[in-house]
Amino acid sequence: MCGVLKKGCMGHKIAACLVLVGALNWGLVGLFDFNLVMKLFGSWAWLERLVYILVGLAAVLELVGCRCKACKAGKGSGGCGGSCSCGMKKDMPKEEAPAPAAPSASEEKADM
């Protein structure tokens, strides 16, 4: 979710939040046998089920990717169209040759 919560279309932001809720809930279930969604919405079984469905749909959206105009133009989140904060740019090669190092003072004296 590279920069999704900062720069993404609204669908990506909502999906990222739902996936985060689902991941935290499963972490709590695994670590402490505590289901937060059931604790919050247990008296409304239909609402609890709806949350699970929405989390699942959000995960599918994150896996497949968004096809909205903003995301297609590279303005949304995603695999480094250059708008996220991961540091990679779309047109930048993955590996650039490092600049040559300046000679040290001892090397300059040896050349004289």
pLDDT in tens, 84-100: 444 545 554 555 555 66
DSSP state, residue 82: S
Q: How far apart are CA 74 and CA 67, in angstroms?
A: 11
pLDDT in tens, 34-66: 999 999 988 899 999 999 999 999 999 989 887
Enumerate the domain spans of the chain: 1-81
Helical residues (DSSP H) of the chain, grouped into ranges: 10-32, 36-41, 45-64, 69-72, 105-111
pLDDT in tens, 4-26: 566 678 888 899 999 999 999 99
User: What's residue 43's pLDDT?
Assistant: 87
User: What's residue 65's pLDDT?
Assistant: 82
pLDDT band at 77 (very low <50, low <70, confident <90, very high): very low
End-to-end, the C-alpha distance of the chain in Å comes to: 55
Which of 93, 84, 103, 64 is closest to 8 using CA atoms? 84
Which of 7, 8, 15 is closest to 61 using CA atoms? 15
DSSP state, residue 68: S
